[in-house]
Amino acid sequence: MSTSAATRVTGLPVRLTAPAPGWELAADVCVVGSGVAGLCVALHARAAGLSVAVVTKVRVDDGSTRWAQGGIAAVLDPADTPEAHARDTEVAGVGLCEPEAVSVLVHEGPERLRQLIDWGAAFDRDPSGRLLLTREGGHSADRIVHAGGDATGSEVQRALQDAVRADPGVTLVEHAMVLDLLTDATGRAAGVTLHVLGEGSADGVGAVRARAVVLATGGMGQVYAATTNPPVSTGDGVALGLRAGAVATDLEFVQFHPTALYLGPGARGQQPLVSEALRGEGAVLRDGAGERFMAGVHPLAELAPRDVVAKAITRVQLRDGVDHVWLDARDVSDLARRFPTIVASCCAAGIDPATELVPVTPAAHYASGGLVTDLVGRTTVPGLYACGEVACTGVHGANRLASNSLLEGLVFAARIGAELAAG
């Protein structure tokens, strides 16, 4: 994407204060982060015969991927088209998407999804074996594949972890907080320093030497008081990139998910997500008087793009002086089988969504901006790549379309893999 409007932040420290590395390991590629983006880059790099070190802040499955509910958007229905998917993406992105990046996403998505299935991910299918497709906000067609009902991310994470763990060419370092980028005399990325906190064979500050570094560290939702993101989502990759002189952009475009489960006025940190797919299957929003309020706001009503729904909810909350609205899922068929994760979260909060209204409120959900990359994941620092939520490829514009995030990780990881293989 163009860097003309992007910001190069000055006045920041260029390195964190840390002791010199006390241990080292070497690989062709160092991947920082272990969600869909990081693990897919690792698998593609391995397919190209490269050795890979994956370093991750806590445990391998502690990132955002495992929490994704809704699914992965991909054009699989013969009645659907990549052009329609592109149009929906650009409408949700409020005209600020990069059309070339969007075109890559929607055209390459289906093939990458099939590859994920080949790697072992099992998605929900009808009795004849066809993938089940649902709809989420901003989509004009049913094109969301899902797994375990509303446990898509968990299945994606499991399949990728199994594949990576089975490969002796991948060294996995857990509990490793990345510190700074290492560079060679020409300024090219040459690895990272990191701090391993008392787990595994390495301990203390160390270094991974590599000829390419791929940041796949996810988002920064924990900057906000209430978020759907797990505790590890603290923006480490963007911070490292900025210290290393990489250009970041669109950091103000933080998407709020309209429906996090409302757990009371004191709720802080990660809040349970109530997937948009529930609205895709017929759930509706109601105010305190029981009235639906989305119908007059947008032609897609409850399935309008997320920013529209989140703002409408906030307006109702301000109008009525309340801190949540209600999601009515009582008419959704087969609720417990189709949405087991949500039903479990509700039950843990003492709510039966089959018979009761569910209190919901918006929460910080997704960073649409990040480190500027081109279409093969290169940041503005040679040898430093970014993939997934930490990157700004331009596909999301000001507001990501539902279920385009796992898809972006799949698609751009493959492109980074091809670039690493060529370089």
Give the closest residue to 136 by CA, choosing from 368, 309, 337: 309
Is residue 405 part of the contact set for ligand SIN (CB under 6 A)?
yes
Considering only residues 106, 399, 403, 408, which one is a binding residue for ligand SIN as defined by CB under 6 A?
Answer: 403
> How many whole angstroms separate alpha carbon 347 and alpha carbon 407?
30
Cβ nearer to ligand SIN, comparing 146 with 195: 146
Cβ nearer to ligand SIN, comparing 113 with 170: 113
Is residue 361 part of the contact set for ligand SIN (CB under 6 A)?
no
**Could you tell me the smallest distance in angstroms from the CB atom of residue 10 to ligand SIN?**
33
Select from 88-96, 189-197, 370-378, 398-406 the region that touches ligand SIN (CB under 6 A).
398-406
Give the closest residue to 103 by CA, choosing from 122, 79, 83: 83
Is residue 362 part of the contact set for ligand SIN (CB under 6 A)?
no
Subset of residues 25 to 84 that bind ligand SIN, contact rule: CB under 6 A: 68-70
Q: Do the beta carbons of residue 55 and residue 199 sit within 8 Å? A: no
Is residue 271 part of the contact set for ligand SIN (CB under 6 A)?
no
Q: Strand pairing partners for 260?
A: 273, 361
**Could you tell me the smallest distance in angstroms from the CB atom of residue 69 to ligand SIN?**
4
Cβ nearer to ligand SIN, comparing 134 with 193: 134
Cβ nearer to ligand SIN, comparing 70 with 191: 70
Give the closest residue to 42 by CA, choosing from 374, 419, 414: 414
Q: Do the beta carbons of residue 159 and residue 119 sit within 8 Å? A: yes
> 26-64: string of b/e by CB count within 10 Å (b at 16+)?
ebbbbbbbbbbbbbbbbbbbbebebbbbbbbbbebbbbb
Unique residue bearing structure tokens 């949405």: 339
Which is it for the CA torsion 64, 145, 421, 202, positive or negative?
A: positive
Task: Determine how many CB atoms are found less than 10 A away from the CB of residue 350.
Answer: 7
Q: Which residues are catalytic?
A: 306
Residue nearest to ligand SIN (CB): 70
Is residue 270 part of the contact set for ligand SIN (CB under 6 A)?
no
Cβ nearer to ligand SIN, comparing 29 with 144: 144
**Could you tell me the smallest distance in angstroms from the CB atom of residue 356 to ligand SIN?**
20
Is residue 345 part of the contact set for ligand SIN (CB under 6 A)?
no
**Could you tell me the smallest distance in angstroms from the CB atom of residue 31 to ligand SIN?**
23
Unique residue bearing structure tokens 């089975």: 166
**How many amino acids of this chain bind ligand SIN (CB under 6 A)?**
9
Displacement of CA 411 from its chain's centroid (Å):
13
Considering only residues 402, 413, 414, 416, which one is a binding residue for ligand SIN as defined by CB under 6 A?
Answer: 402
**Could you tell me the smallest distance in angstroms from the CB atom of residue 362 to ligand SIN?**
12
> 86-106: string of b/e by CB count within 10 Å (b at 16+)?
bebbbbbbeeebbeebbbbbb
DSSP 3-state assignment of 299? Answer: coil
Is residue 277 part of the contact set for ligand SIN (CB under 6 A)?
yes
Cβ nearer to ligand SIN, comparing 161 with 229: 229
Looking at residue 225, the DSSP 8-state letter turns out to be S
In this structure, what token pair is assigned to residue 179? 């510190």
Residues lying near ligand SIN in the complex (CB under 6 A) = 68-70, 275-277, 402-403, 405
